[in-house]
């Protein structure tokens, strides 16, 4: 069976969200061809995950380029032969410029470890604990020029426990990420999810608020 969409997955680290996609494809839950995994770090653990799964890998070291635009153009050139339909940012720890975002506008996705718009940027788990939040989680969104500010698609949340540390909270949030990211991409592949004029649409209706994991799984 031919996959309906092909993807490049961009990583910088261990690639646990990448593994979630590999597993979803492997058990036929996701009709996706992972054409290439690209990292800005040659020692990223996710590259080995990809190789073990028989997926082609690329390495583009950001330190070899004078600025972000030059690096982003190198990313575009590296991905060009693969002609992918979707770009999935899965722990890619580089801020992308409009040069890259515009190339893949409306088909580039990111996941962020907070319930956006709360806590964009870094150290989200520590910040949530410091603020005394009762709930924390993760958000899948379309990636745009605004850092962690693109239209939100799907969120999964977890309770913040009294004895949580940043590490324990991060571990539970990561489990949620592994569920919601493939699910959000499946909506796009099915043609139910679109990006238009700076907004996300599901089944033709604008998503003023992101879908929530529990509500969405009840409707499937």
Active-site positions read 112
Strands (E), 28-144: 32-39, 56-59, 86-89, 108-112, 135-142
User: Reading across the β-sheet that carries 205-206, which strands appear in turn?
Assistant: 193-196, 199-202, 205-206
Angle 90-13-18 (CA atoms, 0-180°, nearest 5)? 40
Alpha helices in the chain (DSSP H): 16-26, 45-52, 68-79, 98-101, 124-130, 166-189, 213-219
């Amino acid at each position: 069976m031919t996959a309906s969409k092909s993807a490049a997955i961009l990583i910088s680290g261990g690639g646990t969200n990448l593994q979630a996609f590999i597993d979803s494809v492997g058990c036929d839950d996701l009709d996706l061809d992972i054409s290439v995994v690209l990292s800005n770090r040659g020692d990223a653990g996710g590259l080995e995950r990809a190789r073990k799964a028989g997926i082609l890998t690329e390495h583009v070291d950001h330190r070899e380029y004078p600025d972000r635009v030059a690096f982003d153009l190198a990313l575009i050139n590296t991905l060009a032969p693969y002609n992918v339909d979707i770009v999935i940012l899965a722990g890619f720890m580089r801020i992308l410029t409009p040069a890259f975002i515009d190339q893949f506008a409306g088909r580039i996705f990111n996941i962020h470890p907070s319930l956006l718009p709360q806590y964009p940027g870094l150290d989200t788990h520590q910040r949530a604990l410091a603020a005394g939040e009762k709930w924390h989680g993760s958000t899948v969104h379309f990636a745009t020029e605004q850092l962690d500010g693109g239209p939100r698609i799907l969120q999964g949340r977890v309770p913040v426990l009294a004895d949580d540390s940043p590490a324990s909270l991060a571990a539970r949030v990561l489990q949620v990420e592994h569920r919601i990211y493939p699910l959000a991409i499946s909506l796009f592949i099915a043609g139910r999810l679109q990006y238009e004029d700076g907004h996300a649409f599901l089944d033709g209706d604008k998503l003023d608020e992101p879908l929530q994991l529990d509500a969405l799984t009840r409707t499937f």
